[in-house]
């Protein structure tokens, strides 16, 4: 049932950049995962490739599957990420996602829904309904990478690229690119996608006692074998519900490109202009 739900969702996607509903491409021969002899080799290569990336843009396609309710939803739009790397301590990241298309129950409509994390505050903005919610998810005076804890965001982004952190939160193994997507119920175009990107797949089992284990039961990450940029991830929670996200990144145009100044702004709009504004400081402290 789980794979059937995904297949139904993905087959219905069309008109997105690089979407799975586009004309069927020719499948190249699979590249052996022995290009990386160990998980450590892959993680070292990913971390090294990430060191020179300060900004990143991507087209994003995000699918949620509720297996019990037989519900599939698709959101697509744009992602932007900014990374600052202090000499001591983990990277400081900000991200912004703007979803502009929504599909469910064979209906497709335009939307304007935004999620912005500026390093301290997470803002959820529904421009259509003029609802603005903002939460401080980093304690005052501290600098944390919120992407390390998936419980603090409405969905998880596959941007943890430091070997030590990945090994600390999960047990991992290298598996074939089409592992998990090679069942008969899965659409051929999904296998084509991971093959055409020459993807290498990393399978993660979250370690007990971590934030990942509290939210996720199983996580799979696909990286472009040449650029080592993330191209897809699947996260399955303990109820069997899934998040399937594809990232479409042009390395020549989307890496270290200038980003508009207001991309990561979580400035509060004027309630007098018709906005419903809700602000919650860290752990309920009044703003």
User: 25-34, 120-129, 269-278: which range is least confident on average?
Assistant: 25-34
**CB count in 10 Å sphere of residue 266:** 22
Q: Is the pLDDT of residue 65 over 50?
A: yes
Better pLDDT: 88 or 174: 174
DSSP H helical ranges for 59-179: 163-169
| Residue 285 buriedness (CB in 10 A; 0-12 / 13-18 / 19+) | exposed
Q: How far apart are CA 248 and CA 220, in angstroms?
A: 17
Per-residue pLDDT, 70: 80
Q: Is the pLDDT of residue 146 over 60?
A: no
Per-residue pLDDT, 251: 93
Q: How far apart are CA 126 and CA 20, in angstroms?
A: 27
User: 38-47, 106-115, 184-193, 245-254: which range is least confident on average?
Assistant: 184-193
Per-residue pLDDT, 139: 78
Per-residue pLDDT, 154: 58
Q: Maximum CA pair distance of the chain?
A: 60
User: Where in 33-144 does DSSP place strands (E)?
Assistant: 55-66, 71-84, 92-104, 107-117, 121-126, 131-136
Q: Is the pLDDT of residue 46 over 60?
A: yes
Q: Residue ranges per domain, the chain?
A: 2-284
Residue 211: what are its φ and ψ, rounded to 5°?
-60, -35
Per-residue pLDDT, 152: 54
Per-residue pLDDT, 32: 41
Confidence of residue 22 (pLDDT cuts 50, 70, 90): very low
Q: Is the pLDDT of residue 91 over 60?
A: yes
3-state secondary structure 223-254: EECCCCCEEEEEEEECCCCEEEEEEECCHHHH
b or e along 21-57 (b: 16 or more beta carbons within 10 Å of the residue's beta carbon)?
Answer: eeeeeeeeeeeebeebeebeebbebbbeebeebebbb
SS3 218: strand
Residue 71: CA atoms inside 13 Å, Cβ hemisphere, count?
6
Superfamily name and number for 2-284: Lipoprotein localisation LolA/LolB/LppX (2.50.20.10)
């Amino acid at each position: 049932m789980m794979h059937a739900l995904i297949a139904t969702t993905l087959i219905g996607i069309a008109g997105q950049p690089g979407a799975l509903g586009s004309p069927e491409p020719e499948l190249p021969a699979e590249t052996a995962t022995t290009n990386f002899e160990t998980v450590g080799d892959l993680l070292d290569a990913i971390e090294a490739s990430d060191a020179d990336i300060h900004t990143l843009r991507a087209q994003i396609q995000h699918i949620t599957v509720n297996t019990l309710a037989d519900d599939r939803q698709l959101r697509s739009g744009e992602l932007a990420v900014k990374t600052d790397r202090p000499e001591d301590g983990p990277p400081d990241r900000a991200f912004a996602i703007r979803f502009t298309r929504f599909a469910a129950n064979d209906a497709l409509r335009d939307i304007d829904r935004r999620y912005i994390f500026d390093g301290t505050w997470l803002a959820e903005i529904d421009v259509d309904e003029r609802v603005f919610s903002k939460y401080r998810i980093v304690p005052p005076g501290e600098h944390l990478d919120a992407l390390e804890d998936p419980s603090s965001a409405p969905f998880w982004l596959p941007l943890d690229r430091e070997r030590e952190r990945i090994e600390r939160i999960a047990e991992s193994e290298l598996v074939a690119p089409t592992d998990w997507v090679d069942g008969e119920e899965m659409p051929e175009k999904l296998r084509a996608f991971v093959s055409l990107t020459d993807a290498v797949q990393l399978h993660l089992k979250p370690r007990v006692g971590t934030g990942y284990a509290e939210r996720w039961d199983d996580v799979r990450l696909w990286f472009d074998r040449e650029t080592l940029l993330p191209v897809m991830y699947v996260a399955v929670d303990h109820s069997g519900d899934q998040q399937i996200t594809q990232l479409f990144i042009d390395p020549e145009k989307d890496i270290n490109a200038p980003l508009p100044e207001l991309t990561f702004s979580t400035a509060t709009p004027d309630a007098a202009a018709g906005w419903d504004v809700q602000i919650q400081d860290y752990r309920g402290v009044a703003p």
